[in-house]
Amino acid sequence: MTETPRTKLEFSLSLYPDPVLRRPAVAIDHFDEGLRATVSAMFERMRASSGVGLAAPQVGLGLRILVLNATGRPEDDLALINVTILERSGPLTVFEEGCLSFPEIYAEVKRPERCKVKYCDLEGRQFEREFEGFESRIVQHEYDHLEGVLLVDRMSPADKTRHRAALAELVERFKTRASSKVAR
Ligand code: CO
């Protein structure tokens, strides 16, 4: 495999507690070249950050787009547009989740093993699909982002205590960035 030259990434990550992460995302109504470009830039951002999933609010866009790849193989790239979870089923499982909007913070989250979704592809065609295991975990995590729900909301009280300092530091860093933008 040849190495691709490093190009500047179009999207930077929105980090907690950026308010864009709290706004419910809105549906896409134009399945055009702009959407394809956005999705492709989201995949780039996800890979550059070694993520397995990314939701549009995490790159500052309040749109119902999520991308994921559970294996790292290019053929497993999946973009879900206007996704809705129709059903969650199976036993609750615990898994340690990370989030690109919470660098270096990991927390155990309980979620049902399976989920069934309906979504559109890049051409606007509707599909239904059932996920299980790791993919289902990613879909449910990224879906939370579209509703403004974050890892910090899903943490156990013990994890919240354990990560209190790291969370406070993210808040401080956000305030510093926000005020330096105002000063400029
Ligand atoms: Co996340």
Enumerate the domain spans of the chain. Answer: 19-183
CATH code of the region 19-183:
3.90.45.10
State the Cα–Cα distance between residues 93 and 77, nearest whole angstrom: 24
The per-residue pLDDT for range 114-158, each reduced to its tens digit, is 999 999 999 999 999 999 999 999 999 999 999 999 999 999 999
pLDDT at 6: 53
Q: Closest Cα to residue 99, out of 136, 144, 135?
A: 144
Q: How many angstroms separate the alpha carbon of residue 5 from the centre of ligand 1?
A: 27
Q: Closest Cα to residue 129, out of 85, 99, 180, 92?
A: 85
Q: How many angstroms separate the alpha carbon of residue 100 from the centre of ligand 1?
A: 6
pLDDT at 82: 98
Q: How many angstroms separate the alpha carbon of residue 29 from the centre of ligand 1?
A: 24
Q: How many angstroms separate the alpha carbon of residue 151 from the centre of ligand 1?
A: 7
pLDDT at 1: 47
Residues 6+ apart with CB under 8 A from 40: none
pLDDT at 184: 55
pLDDT at 24: 96
**Protein residues near ligand 1, an ion, with CB under 5 A:** 99
Residue 142 bears catalytic tag? yes
pLDDT at 23: 97
State the Cα–Cα distance between residues 154 and 99, nearest whole angstrom: 12
pLDDT at 7: 59
3-state secondary structure 124-180: CCEEEEEEEHHHHHHHHHHHHHHCCCCHHHHCCHHHHHHCHHHHHHHHHHHHHHHHH
Residue 127 and residue 77 in contact, taking contact as beta carbons nearer than 8 Å: no
Whole-structure pTM value: 0.93
Q: How many angstroms separate the alpha carbon of residue 181 from the centre of ligand 1?
A: 25
- Percentage of residues in the chain with pLDDT exceeding 70? 95
Q: Which residues of the chain have pLDDT under 50?
A: 1-2, 5
Residue of 142, 147, 169, 172 marked catalytic? 142
pLDDT at 180: 82
